[in-house]
Amino acid sequence: MSAGTSTGVSVELTAESSEHVKTLEEQERLLVLPRFTYEDAWRLGSLLVELALDRSAPVAIDITRGPQQLFHAALPGSTADNDAWIDRKRRVVERYAESSYLVGTRFRAKGTTFEDSSRLDPDHFAAHGGSFPIAVEGAGVIGTVTVSGLPQAEDHAMVVEALERFAAA
Protein backbone atom coordinates (compact mmCIF):
# COMPACT_ATOMS: atom_id res chain seq x y z
CA MET A 1 0.00 0.00 0.00
CA SER A 2 1.21 3.48 -0.78
CA ALA A 3 0.80 6.23 1.76
CA GLY A 4 1.69 9.88 2.21
CA THR A 5 4.95 10.98 3.72
CA SER A 6 5.61 13.21 6.68
CA THR A 7 6.21 15.97 4.15
CA GLY A 8 2.49 16.01 3.47
CA VAL A 9 2.65 14.55 -0.03
CA SER A 10 -0.34 12.26 -0.66
CA VAL A 11 -0.05 9.36 -3.02
CA GLU A 12 -2.46 6.81 -4.44
CA LEU A 13 -3.84 4.01 -2.24
CA THR A 14 -4.52 0.47 -3.34
CA ALA A 15 -7.35 -1.91 -2.46
CA GLU A 16 -5.43 -2.95 0.66
CA SER A 17 -6.56 0.20 2.48
CA SER A 18 -9.53 -1.30 4.34
CA GLU A 19 -7.35 -4.18 5.54
CA HIS A 20 -4.73 -1.64 6.61
CA VAL A 21 -7.38 0.25 8.62
CA LYS A 22 -8.24 -3.02 10.42
CA THR A 23 -4.58 -3.63 11.24
CA LEU A 24 -4.19 -0.12 12.68
CA GLU A 25 -7.40 -0.51 14.72
CA GLU A 26 -6.11 -3.81 16.10
CA GLN A 27 -2.84 -2.15 17.20
CA GLU A 28 -4.82 0.37 19.21
CA ARG A 29 -7.05 -2.31 20.71
CA LEU A 30 -4.01 -4.27 21.89
CA LEU A 31 -1.83 -1.39 23.09
CA VAL A 32 -3.78 -0.39 26.19
CA LEU A 33 -1.61 0.01 29.27
CA PRO A 34 -2.50 -0.84 32.88
CA ARG A 35 -1.18 2.58 34.00
CA PHE A 36 1.00 5.44 32.75
CA THR A 37 3.10 7.40 35.24
CA TYR A 38 5.80 10.04 34.94
CA GLU A 39 8.37 7.26 35.30
CA ASP A 40 6.64 5.32 32.54
CA ALA A 41 6.89 8.36 30.27
CA TRP A 42 10.63 8.52 30.93
CA ARG A 43 11.06 4.79 30.25
CA LEU A 44 9.00 4.87 27.04
CA GLY A 45 10.73 8.02 25.83
CA SER A 46 14.15 6.57 26.61
CA LEU A 47 13.23 3.39 24.74
CA LEU A 48 12.26 5.46 21.69
CA VAL A 49 15.53 7.39 21.88
CA GLU A 50 17.44 4.10 22.02
CA LEU A 51 15.56 2.71 19.00
CA ALA A 52 16.13 5.92 17.04
CA LEU A 53 19.83 6.14 17.89
CA ASP A 54 20.36 2.47 16.95
CA ARG A 55 18.84 3.28 13.53
CA SER A 56 20.45 6.71 13.15
CA ALA A 57 16.92 8.05 12.77
CA PRO A 58 16.80 11.87 12.67
CA VAL A 59 13.65 12.19 14.78
CA ALA A 60 12.07 14.25 17.49
CA ILE A 61 10.12 12.38 20.17
CA ASP A 62 7.35 13.72 22.37
CA ILE A 63 5.16 12.25 25.12
CA THR A 64 2.27 14.12 26.70
CA ARG A 65 -0.32 13.33 29.32
CA GLY A 66 -3.25 15.66 29.05
CA PRO A 67 -1.88 19.15 28.49
CA GLN A 68 1.52 18.38 30.09
CA GLN A 69 4.60 17.45 28.10
CA LEU A 70 6.32 14.66 30.04
CA PHE A 71 9.14 13.86 27.62
CA HIS A 72 10.80 15.46 24.62
CA ALA A 73 13.97 14.62 22.73
CA ALA A 74 15.40 15.99 19.51
CA LEU A 75 17.99 13.69 17.98
CA PRO A 76 20.76 14.61 15.53
CA GLY A 77 19.32 15.47 12.14
CA SER A 78 15.92 16.52 13.47
CA THR A 79 14.80 20.13 13.09
CA ALA A 80 12.26 22.56 14.48
CA ASP A 81 9.96 21.43 11.64
CA ASN A 82 9.72 18.05 13.37
CA ASP A 83 8.41 19.79 16.51
CA ALA A 84 5.75 21.52 14.40
CA TRP A 85 4.77 18.16 12.87
CA ILE A 86 4.58 16.66 16.38
CA ASP A 87 2.15 19.37 17.47
CA ARG A 88 -0.05 18.91 14.39
CA LYS A 89 -0.11 15.10 14.61
CA ARG A 90 -0.71 15.17 18.39
CA ARG A 91 -3.75 17.43 17.91
CA VAL A 92 -5.30 14.81 15.61
CA VAL A 93 -4.91 12.15 18.31
CA GLU A 94 -6.32 14.50 20.95
CA ARG A 95 -9.34 15.25 18.76
CA TYR A 96 -10.09 11.72 17.45
CA ALA A 97 -8.64 9.57 20.30
CA GLU A 98 -7.00 7.41 17.62
CA SER A 99 -3.56 7.37 16.02
CA SER A 100 -2.85 10.08 13.49
CA TYR A 101 -1.97 7.37 10.96
CA LEU A 102 -5.29 5.57 11.45
CA VAL A 103 -7.24 8.81 11.05
CA GLY A 104 -5.42 9.70 7.82
CA THR A 105 -5.66 6.15 6.50
CA ARG A 106 -9.43 6.10 7.07
CA PHE A 107 -9.84 9.26 4.99
CA ARG A 108 -7.64 7.83 2.22
CA ALA A 109 -9.59 4.53 2.30
CA LYS A 110 -12.71 6.56 1.55
CA GLY A 111 -11.02 8.08 -1.49
CA THR A 112 -10.36 11.48 0.02
CA THR A 113 -7.80 13.13 2.28
CA PHE A 114 -7.90 14.46 5.79
CA GLU A 115 -6.89 17.88 4.49
CA ASP A 116 -9.78 17.98 1.98
CA SER A 117 -12.51 16.45 4.13
CA SER A 118 -11.91 17.06 7.85
CA ARG A 119 -12.63 20.80 7.73
CA LEU A 120 -9.75 21.28 10.19
CA ASP A 121 -6.97 23.80 9.63
CA PRO A 122 -3.96 21.94 8.15
CA ASP A 123 -1.68 24.45 9.87
CA HIS A 124 -2.88 22.96 13.18
CA PHE A 125 -3.80 19.35 12.34
CA ALA A 126 -1.93 16.65 10.37
CA ALA A 127 -3.30 13.12 10.02
CA HIS A 128 0.10 11.69 9.15
CA GLY A 129 1.64 8.71 10.91
CA GLY A 130 3.65 9.13 14.06
CA SER A 131 1.32 10.07 16.90
CA PHE A 132 -0.34 7.31 18.91
CA PRO A 133 -2.80 7.50 21.79
CA ILE A 134 -1.63 6.45 25.23
CA ALA A 135 -4.64 4.50 26.46
CA VAL A 136 -4.95 3.25 30.02
CA GLU A 137 -7.31 0.49 31.16
CA GLY A 138 -10.40 2.05 32.72
CA ALA A 139 -9.35 5.60 31.85
CA GLY A 140 -9.27 5.67 28.04
CA VAL A 141 -6.89 7.91 26.14
CA ILE A 142 -4.87 9.99 28.59
CA GLY A 143 -2.04 11.20 26.38
CA THR A 144 0.04 10.79 23.25
CA VAL A 145 3.40 9.50 22.14
CA THR A 146 4.70 11.03 18.92
CA VAL A 147 7.68 10.60 16.60
CA SER A 148 8.48 12.88 13.66
CA GLY A 149 11.30 12.79 11.14
CA LEU A 150 10.80 9.66 9.04
CA PRO A 151 8.21 8.81 6.39
CA GLN A 152 4.85 8.54 8.13
CA ALA A 153 4.59 4.72 8.10
CA GLU A 154 8.05 4.50 9.69
CA ASP A 155 7.22 7.12 12.35
CA HIS A 156 4.11 5.10 13.20
CA ALA A 157 5.97 1.77 13.19
CA MET A 158 8.64 3.10 15.54
CA VAL A 159 6.03 4.26 18.06
CA VAL A 160 4.14 0.94 17.85
CA GLU A 161 7.36 -1.06 18.28
CA ALA A 162 8.31 0.95 21.35
CA LEU A 163 4.82 0.61 22.88
CA GLU A 164 4.84 -3.15 22.26
CA ARG A 165 8.24 -3.49 23.95
CA PHE A 166 7.20 -1.17 26.75
CA ALA A 167 3.96 -3.10 27.39
CA ALA A 168 5.81 -6.43 27.38
CA ALA A 169 8.42 -5.30 29.94
Asked whether residue 8 carries a pLDDT value surpassing 70, the answer given is no
The 10s digit of each residue's pLDDT in 55-69 is 999 999 999 999 999
Residue 4 lies in a domain: no
3-class DSSP string for the chain: CCCCCCCCCCCCCCCCHHHHHHHHHHHHHHCEECCCCHHHHHHHHHHHHHHHHHCCCCCEEEEEECCEEEEEEECCCCCHHHHHHHHHHHHHHHHHCCCHHHHHHHHHHCCCCHHHHCCCCCCCCCCCCCEEEEEECCCEEEEEEEEECCCHHHHHHHHHHHHHHHHHC
Domain hosting 154: range is 17-168
pLDDT score recorded for residue 18: 82
Residue 8 lies in a domain: no
The 10s digit of each residue's pLDDT in 41-96 is 999 999 999 999 999 999 999 999 999 999 999 999 999 999 999 999 999 999 99
pLDDT score recorded for residue 3: 40
Residue 2 lies in a domain: no
Per the structure, the count of domains in the chain is 1
Other CB atoms within 10 A of residue 24 CB:
22
Asked whether residue 138 carries a pLDDT value surpassing 70, the answer given is yes
Residue 5 lies in a domain: no
Least confident of 16-20, 68-72, 116-120: 16-20
Residue 22 lies in a domain: yes
pLDDT score recorded for residue 16: 54
Residue 6 lies in a domain: no
Residue 35 lies in a domain: yes
Residue 52 sits in a domain of what CATH number?
3.30.450.150
- Per-residue pLDDT, averaged over 91-118, amounts to 94
